[in-house]
Structure 1
Amino acid sequence: MFAVLLAALTLAMAQAAPTDAYRIGPYDVLQIVVPEERTDAPIVTTDALTVGPDGTVAVAYLGDVIAVGKTTAELSEEIRVGLIEAGQFVSPHVLVRVREYGADRVSVLGAVKEPGYFPFREGLAVRDAIAMAKGVQLEIAANPLARLVHRDGESVTFQLNEALRAEGAMADLLLQPGDAIIVEESAPVSVLGYVHDPGDVRVREGARLSEVLALAGGIVEPGEETFEAGRTPGDSTRITINRADGTTETVSLMGADEGTTRDDPAVFPGDVIYVPASRSEVTVLGYIKSPGVLVFRSGDRVSDVIAKAGGVIISSGIPDNILEIGDLSAIRLYRADGTELLVNLDSRVAGAGDPELLPGDSIVVPRREQTYYALGRVRVQGRHVLPPGSRVLDLYTAAGGTTTVDALPMRTTDADLANCVLARADGTQLVVDLQAIAQNPALEANVELVHGDSLWVPEADRRVIVAGYVQSPGYFQFREGDTVREVIAMAGGPTISPADSYMNDGDPRNVLIIHQDGAQETIDTTVEDLPVRPGDEIRVPYARQRVTVLGYVVRPGFVLWHEGDTVLDMIAAAGGVNTDDGDRFSAVLIRRGPEGPQFTRVDLSGAHDMDDVAFNVEVLPNDIVMVPRSDHTDWGDWLTNIRNALSITNLIGALF
């Protein structure tokens, strides 16, 4: 099969390629196939990989691989060697084919107004292609550089301004099919602190600080409300600029309005600007109970203002079954001078790790990232966030427990709780018996969770049905080696009812086992036992060891039958004849047979003589003994009435 696949793919590639020496260019669409070399090896099949303007394609297991300028054979060999070195294959066959050729277009990317692909035409110059992209975005372009990447992978860096002029050496720089122009983007400038719209802004190179602050909405002026906890203006006299080269500069804009540039310096891509608060205030944000701006006293520490803000959120429920919890071990403290400190209040000792606050500080309490996942046969699949120290059973409970199915007269789970899998964040796996843990949470198997753990509850593949006369019929999971007797015990055992009850007892001596393949066998579980198989149906019948005594007796109903019991024994077991109305000298024995019920009159006057076999008639299981009223006169008419009421005996038989 492998040889046929290899031959077919090789033929297809030979037909598709224009020449053996064709070299891959940008925007070519490649097909890469690695046929299976052994049953447990992965198969890499990628039908549509477009070569990017940088000349690379993304290959499974290897990441970005340079394709531009290579033949398909050269790229195949490079991928083959890479897969071997990555440990994914032993001796793979790699097939590369060019499905589509991208030589009929060029691309303009980066800091242009409408980047994209454009049709190629003869005589197309760089300035024409940039015009197709609606021109350069001056505020984000890293003047004056751009790159021209050819199909063969070679690239040229050129001065953008020269290429855009109508005259000059670069003005007539013409493009080739498949070329890509990349206008380099400048890094953004970050504006933080007490401005209206903090964040990243794009500015032209050489823009002044005041211009950048205006793009961020301007500095918050006194009286403007920015947080629910109060009004906090920014301090324009202590603005910090952290330069991209690592230097720091503190600037006052108080003289900038006078037209000078000394206090309004130029800002460059990658700079970080921080505007501090103008008073001895600190901003507390994140997962705390009352975020906002707080006034602090000299000597106050991080823990003091967090306490003033109500402390961290401990268990505030939000939608989607997620609990948000503040993380005291990863607090971020941002100083007014632009420095950043990581504060761990979980492990501080005598003030260590709990720094004093300075005016303009900002504190951010992140969410404790204790995220777990519950998948498979649970009610709420997906992401769950629980408090630190949570265990497997807690995650199972948060997921709502297992799903259920209708099973006979009850609903039961269709999950295999005894064989759950806990995939740990470190890549290891544990088999977890949630069935045992639910019964005893103190078990060592109820391990503490680690951030990123995933619990998989599989569908049960070892289930049996226990039906018939048991206490709790339904589906039951069994462990390897469990027997018929044990799963009947899981169902509560056979039914047992009082002697005067019309309920039937389960019969453990005639248990029917129907296997998944249709085979059947009957066993006496009181003397033998068998291991169960997946899909078995175990039926416990009712015990046919009773006799029904009806009519004028003290306790009409079912009575237990024993070997050798007689009509008189059954009447005695039913409390004897009712002396007020019952006939003490006659009874009727009804026995059902293949030809219908047979009626036998029994003369009780002689039945007291144990030696008189003719009168002391033995009964069999399922017989019916009826004692009539004492005032009836015609036995023939009475028996006829009983026969006409045969539906009653049928009803009695149904009760068995």
Structure 2
Amino acid sequence: PGGYSLPRGAKLLDAIAAASGPTQKASLEDVTIYKGGVIAEGMGAPIGAGKVLFSGKVTENPEVRPGDVVHVESRFISVSVFGRVSRPGTMELPRGARVLDAVGAVGGILADGDHTQVSLTRSGAEGPADSIDLDKVLRDPGDAANRPLSDGDLIYVPQVSRQVAVMGEVVRPGVYQYAQDMTLMDVLATAGGPTRMADLEQVRVYRGEDVDDALTLSVADDRLRYVGDLKSNPRVRPGDIVMIPSGAIRVQVLGRVARTGEVEVRKGATVLDAISAAGGISASGDGSRVVLTREGAESREIDVDALLAGGGSGFEVAYGDVLFVPEANRKVAVMGSVLRPGLYDFKPGMRLVEALAMAGGTTATANLSKVMVYSGDEAAEIALGGSPSKGEYIDPTKGNNPALAFGDIVIVPPAKSINWSQISAMLTIMNQLMSIITR
């Protein structure tokens, strides 16, 4: 390349011949003649070239004039490819080569190279480098991301972030080393598995960021790549952030339970689960009248004792529910011809004779053949046998000794003639007692 003196009327081929002819790399189909161009020292390309007089094939052989600059393009471009590739360096590629051609020319991307974050820096261009997802290009080589290259372009393949972050309801949240073909379940196992409160139906996988500081990231939905059931078990990729959300429901459990206050139970938990989380109903609690209060709905009474006895699961609780276990009024009333008439604490499995014993036993005038037991709306006449007036005493193994329920009223009538005013007074007291011990 350089300046040459040519005879008047010389043509393009004459100018090229004066410069010792084209090189092996010359593209004789891509020649440009500039008017008023200037050749930079040590370079064969026109700098600050003026008007283009000709652009085409050398065989067209137009005339050249004094001051013209002839530029013969190379059939090759020089492109540099660095980073995580097999043979990084600068190479010559045929003009018109694309990104995928350059990556292939250096032997492809290494196993730890990030296909999704390849950068392309244009020669002489200002501003940030272009980011290219080669995975997308490999799926469709005709994609616009597989851009044609120019002389002096630089391609850089970064090292992939070989880590996966696990956050949320796992035993050991943190950042873990990625393994080849790692799946969602593999990641979960590496983090110690899900906690009791994990919602495995709403697992989320975010993609597209370095996870070196993943535990402080604020993940956004535009990076969401998967949401669904853990059983789907998709493969994860280096740099993924796996979020295991909580399925916990907070419920207030108050009243006669072992530990009053707020408890956490899993989504889908029942009244029984919530009471169990609070340590269960205390000895003084009435499990038959547990009250469930929910915002925007009427309170409802639930018989937890019946659920336990019948093996039922009960009503599902929701976030913000309040359960109240009232104090049990577990009493039985013993009246009439006993030494100490009154109310006595009911014990599970209590029978008639035991209730009479708690009241000090029957008097000498008691009529044991007509003992009345009132249970709710029902009444039963019990013949215990024996006659206290004759020195005979009750034998539980021989007499009728039924089991009682809390709220029952036992009346032992006198053996003498019935005093109707006394019976009327007793019934009045009985009704009052029933309203007390059953409310």
- TM superposition score category, shorter chain reference: 0.3 to 0.5
Compare relative contact order (CA 8 Å, sep 6+) and give the higher one, 1 or 2. Answer: 2
TM-score, normalised relative to structure 1: 0.28
Structure 1 or 2, whichever has the larger Rg, is 2
TM value normalised by structure 2: 0.40
